[in-house]
Structure 1
Amino acid sequence: MLSGTPDITDIDVGTIPRVALRARTRFGAEFALVEGTRSWTFAEYVDAALAVAAGLICAGVQRGDRVATWAPNTAEHAIVTLGIHCAGAVLVPLNTRFKGREAADLLRRSGAQILFTVETFLGIRFGDMLQAARAEDAACLPLPPRMVPIEPDSDGWHAFLAAGAADRIKAERRAEDVAPDDIATIIFTSGTTGRPKGVMLSHVALVTGYWQWSSRTGMQHGDKCLASNPFCHVMGLKAGLLSALEHGATIYPMALFDPGHVLDLIEAEGITYLTGPPAIFQMLLGTRDLEQRKLDSLRGAVVGGSNISRQLITDMFGRLGLAQVATCYGLTESCALVTATRAEDSVEIIAGTSGSPLPHVKLEIRDSEGVAMSSGETGEIMVRSPYHMKGYLDDAAATGEAIDAAGWLATGDLGAIDPAGNLVVRGRKKEMLIVGGFNVYAAEVEAALLEHPDIRLAAVIGVPDARLGEVPKAFVVPVDAVVLDPAAVLQWIGSRIANYKAPRFIEIRASLPLNSTGKVMKMELERQDRAL
């Protein structure tokens, strides 16, 4: 932490609006947002957010009402997000990959009154998709929200802001009145294991938790942070926008990740801090002219979300020139805040574990009977933390199943704690295969495959087997321009792990189905495999 940066945990902040007001005072003339040739200082950013809050107040939005966003990462999206918080409303971000029925379902379930969106993105018209979904089944969204466009040249955007001009003083007061325990955000889970659930996260959990997380993972005052994690995800919203607001760092929103454009930005703007899943760093490292690029501004990066190879971490230090690389573990129900590695950790710890618990977080590994297990034993990861959700939206039963009376959250993930207290994640409980009576963890097999120098991505699922019940099948993506021989890969992996763990089948692919946060969509892989 740089000298002069405030310790959020030691001062009375507690809410995202108060973080914003403090940033306006402390970092006022420094740049908060930069997008192309446009830029906003912290004072301008917060004032623009308060103008959005005033527009919401004028539209009748009360404290605790839900307001949704459905848009790519842009400066206006960042401003709207902060404005929703300043109005005391609850942010409901929607994934830009959603189809009309998916978005309609979440808008209906959340009761969002207003939807901030864009007219088109990647040739898709979001408004048309919602209309088509309602035309097919009006019950999917009986009362559609008011839609407000957020393109900077949109008449509707300017009209919305102009309508709220007289309520600016009310917006300042509303921002001050938001309480720490108020719900700040409802984030719907990714749905990779079933119907998305609305996770309700409080202001105080997000503010205190992300100060701890970003301080450990190396964010500093004055950093220039590339925001490629989507703002519909907790990591884009909080590890990106909120952490930067707390530290006084500059955000560079990126609507679409393009490795060449990222390298251009690093060179032109002096980007210092990156976050994302392994896939984006693999793409950067695979850029043909990487060695000719001037990347000496880069200092820190956080990589998480799936299996991480030792080679990737080594290359991030060596070829990208990073001084600190952090890996972490979390889930939406805990604000994505559970563990992270430290600056002093070795490459082995960074690549082989997800680090140690964040301050005030406790971990246990439990067996199927709920009994705590010893160091090194694999079981379900249990978390007790002040950063837990307030519950699932309109689902008290599911909330009670997830968090017990003592405050322990059942993550549904398998892992072990090593002798040094670091967490080793083995994968989802549902991704544990039983091969002839032996437990096989998909994540362990995937990690072994990623040690192959010519494999860039790997995913493992279970497929039926008449003799063993099920056996592993691997889908792998080779590094650029490499032609992999499935038989040779099977032989290679068979020499490195126990025979019951080794995949029986290898399928070489040009890509794997990923969700917007870079996670492999195992359910889609299974569906595709069954269709063969």
Structure 2
Amino acid sequence: MPQPSYTRGRQDKPLLTLTIGQAFDATVARHGEREALVVRHQGVRYSWRELAAEVDVHARALMALGVEVGERVGIWAPNCAQWCILQLAAAKVGAILVNINPAYRVGELEYVLRQSGCRWLVCADAFKTSDYHAMVQELVPELASHGVAELASERLPDLRGVISLAAEPPAGFLPWAALAGHAGQVEVAACEARQQGLQFDQPVNIQYTSGTTGAPKGATLSHYNILNNGYLVGQSLGLTERDRMVIPVPLYHCFGMVMANLGCITHGSAMVYPNDAFDAELTLRAVAEEHASILYGVPTMFIAMLDHPLRSRLDLSSLRSGIMAGATCPIEVMRKVIEQMHMAQVQIAYGMTETSPVSLQTGPDDELELRVTTVGRTQPQLETKLVDGDGRIVARGETGELCTRGYSVMLGYWDNLQATHDAIDPAGWMHTGDLAVMDDAGYVRIVGRNKDMIIRGGENIYPRELEEFFHTHPAVAEAQVVGIPCSKYGEEVVAWIRLRPGHSATAEELQQWCKVRLAHFKTPRHFRFVDEFPMTVTGKVQKFRMREISVEELGG
């Protein structure tokens, strides 16, 4: 009988039964004077003890603002010290942190705040082409006329107030610098009692994933989910208090806040943010000047660093390992990372937000070929199986949908029982939608997707969401969206558009229309205007044929 495509990860690594606050406090007690957080673009350096002081005062301030256990606090900002402080402070008081993509526009922001029922929003003033203050004021014009914690918004009735990271924000915003001043209203003992009353399996984080049915879904994750995932990813890397990790990946994503921040926090490793967003030169300088041993990134980041003229002039010899995730890595890129960036033990990780995120990972000693052709083996304390269309486990070497079960599977989609039911089966298996093959040694190779999801530069894009979005344009009768290969980002978005009779629109007009309403990574790079779409005899759109035609015309 052929061996089934099922594996169970190592069971000798016990899971942590702590809240994030408890794990953080334990690290502070062990390594208090060691460096914990370096934020180079802000000129910030904290020891573990200094970081704890910031976290504790802001935890008390949140309580003073009336934040209760289970209430949602949104964070809409690029990488910065305040992001890390809020992540830990919110966890200590039992709040649920809602990660908001810094690239979101007004409509996306409104949806996330409303769907999650956010009570408070913490936001930057601006980032790249986004004016966060202006977008918040558009959504909540009442903000300027209300006192602290007294907001009454027509469009966002749950929202109590907005905290700005700017030194002097417009009227109505509570400056972050003034937030700590509210801590005196809450006794230290009251904050400690709040933390002691929390359970490790309570929700602590909501991360929105693009929705296959148009609306993003909020993956709800517990302390147990994400603390253990960060811990076990770090275990695979061999993290210790002597490691220094450079983190150019975004904190709003699991890669940053879980695999990086929580991976470091559970092992006492220093967190180094080179900039508010990825910059190849600043990342390379951070590695060299901070004597970093660990570096994270998606393949496009590593390609940019390898190609940067400064790289060969910097001493990167302190590096030993790191993680590359988010997309498949070409073998030549992996070889150069190992040879030219000294990352002999670099690992590949695979997962999804709904699984906290990592479910499979290569090991430090895996052969190069395994690190570029597979996503590794099942992580400790998890199970993996590959199933056919009937839900039956396929034999090794056969293609099936990858499913994950164990501690990392989310609690569910926030306030969306149907979507949760569709994603997690009655036996507790999370269905990823990815098609994979498992070999005799248990290594898994991703071969495709049974959903139409596009992965561009590590960001998941669901065509259905974009197609429904295009239908709100007055000139668009119908839209179909596909992805085509791209050497820089992995995939690029192509929109096929059928215009309404008597209407006109150019690619440039639609692109500009998208840019002011969508996160930049979702905006299609290419447009193709058609009178009809390739169809089957039964009238179904042939996306595979659209993809083939797009590749023929545009390359890829």
1:173 is displaced (CA, Å) by 2.2
* Pair 389,476 (structure 1): closer, same or farther in 2 beyond 3 Å: closer
User: Are residue 148 (structure 1) and residue 148 (structure 2) matched?
Assistant: no
Check whether the contact 1:183–1:201 (CA below 8 A) recurs between aligned residues. Answer: yes
Who is 1:418 aligned against?
A: 439
In the other structure, the counterpart of 1:160 is 179
5+ residue gaps, structure 2: 1-11, 142-152, 464-479, 490-514, 531-549, 551-556
Cα-to-partner distance string for 1:221-265 (whole Å, 9 max, x where unaligned): 221111222111111111111111111011112312111111111
The gaps in structure 1 that reach 5 residues or longer are 1-7, 433-441, 447-458, 462-469, 480-514
* Structure 1 vs Structure 2 CA RMSD: 3.0
Distance, in Å, in 1 between the alignment partners of 2:483 and 2:408 is 37
Q: Is the 8 A contact 2:78 2:250 kept in 1?
A: yes
Deviation digits for residues 354-395 of structure 1, max 9, x if unmatched? 000001211111111212111111121111112111111111
State how far apart, in whole Å, the 1-side matches of 2:285 and 2:277 are.
14
* Cross-structure match for 1:96: 102
Give 1:115 deviation, angstroms: 0.8
Offset at 1:122? 2.3
Tell me, yes or no, if the aligned pair for 2:300 and 2:488 is still in contact at 8 Å. Answer: no
- Name the residue aligned to 1:245: 265
Report if aligned partners of 2:103, 2:520 keep a CA contact under 8 Å in 1.
no
* Alignment correspondent of 2:121: 115
For the Cα contact (< 8 Å) 2:354–2:410, is it kept in 1? yes
Q: 1:25 and 1:527, CA in 2 relative to 1: closer, same or farther beyond 3 A?
A: same
Question: Contact 1:9 / 1:211 at 8 angstroms: preserved in 2?
Answer: no
Name 2:477's counterpart in structure 1: none
1:400 Cα offset (Å): 1.1
Alignment partner of 2:35 out of 23, 31, 47:
31
For 1:353 and 1:317, locate their aligned partners in 2 and report how far apart those are by CA, in whole Å.
Answer: 17
User: Which amino acid is the alignment partner of residue 320 of structure 1?
Assistant: M
1:209 aligns with 2:229: yes
Measured after TM superposition, the shift of residue 209 of structure 1 is 2.5
Q: Does 1:18 align with 2:37?
A: no
The one-letter code matched in structure 1 to 2:31 is F
Q: Percent identity?
A: 27
SS in 2 for 1:95: coil
Which whole-Å deviations, capped at 9, do the CAs of 1:16-65 have from their partners, x for residues lacking one?
Answer: 01011101101101111112332111111122111111011111111111
Aligned length: 453
Amino acid at match of 1:186: I
What secondary structure is seen at the aligned counterpart in 1 of 2:358? coil
Q: Which residue of the partner structure matches residue 76 of structure 1?
A: 82
Distance in 2 separating the partners of 1:226 and 1:191: 31
- Alpha-carbon shift at residue 193 of structure 1 (Å): 7.4
Measured against aligned partners, the alpha-carbon deviations of 1:126-158 in whole angstroms (never above 9, x if no partner) come to 1211332457xx865344441112347878223
Q: 188-197 or 282-291, which moves further after superposition?
A: 188-197
Over 3 Å counting, the alpha-carbon distance change for 1:164 and 1:304 in structure 2 is same
Local SS of the residue matching 1:213: helix
Alpha-carbon shift at residue 81 of structure 1 (Å): 1.3
CA pair 82-194 structure 1, distance change in 2 beyond 3 A? same
Q: Aligned to 2:252, which of 232, 246, 250?
A: 232
Matches within 5 A, 1:68-467: 68-133=74-139, 140-151=155-166, 156-167=175-186, 168-191=188-211, 194-253=214-273, 254-431=275-452
Question: In structure 2, do the counterparts of structure 1 residues 10 and 409 end up closer, same or farther at CA, with 3 Å as the change threshold?
Answer: closer
One-letter code of the match for 1:162? Answer: G
CA distance in 1, matches of 2:241, 2:113: 37
Residues 156-177 of structure 1: per-residue CA shift (max 9 Å, x gap)? 2232111112423322222222
1:39 partner SS: strand
Alignment check: 8 A CA contact 2:224 2:407 kept: no
Task: Tell me the amino acid that sits aligned with residue 171 of structure 1.
Answer: C
More divergent stretch after superposition (47-56 vs 210-219): 210-219
* 2:496 corresponding residue in structure 1: none
- Once the two structures are TM-superposed, the CA of residue 217 in structure 1 deviates from its matched residue by 3.0
For residues 45 and 282 of structure 2, the distance between their equivalents in structure 1, rounded to whole angstroms, comes to 18
How far did 1:475 drift?
4.4
TM-score by length of 2: 0.76
Distance in structure 2 (CA, Å) of the matches to 1:221 and 1:193: 44
SS at match of 1:247: coil
Contact 2:97–2:205 (CA<8 Å) still a contact in 1?
Answer: yes
TM-score (norm 1): 0.79
Residue 164 of structure 1: SS of its match in structure 2?
helix
Partner Cα separation in structure 2 for residue 17 and residue 272 of structure 1: 26
Q: In structure 1, how many angstroms separate the alpha carbons of the residues matched to 2:109 and 2:73?
A: 13
Partner of 1:487: none
Q: How far apart, in 1, do the equivalents of 2:347 and 2:339 lie? A: 15
Moved more, 186-195 or 290-299: 186-195
CA distance in 2, matches of 1:520, 1:359: 36
**Offset, 1:10:** 5.1
Q: Distance in 1 between matches of 2:48 and 2:200?
A: 22
Which AA in structure 2 matches 1:165? Answer: G
Instruction: Find the aligned partners of 1:12 and 1:384 in 2 and give their Cα distance.
Output: 17
Q: What is residue 495 of structure 1 aligned with on the other side?
A: none
SS state at 1:528 partner: strand
The answer to whether the 8 A contact 2:15-2:228 is kept is: no
Q: CA 1:163 to 1:124, structure 2 compared with 1: closer, same or farther past 3 Å?
A: same
1:511 alignment counterpart: none
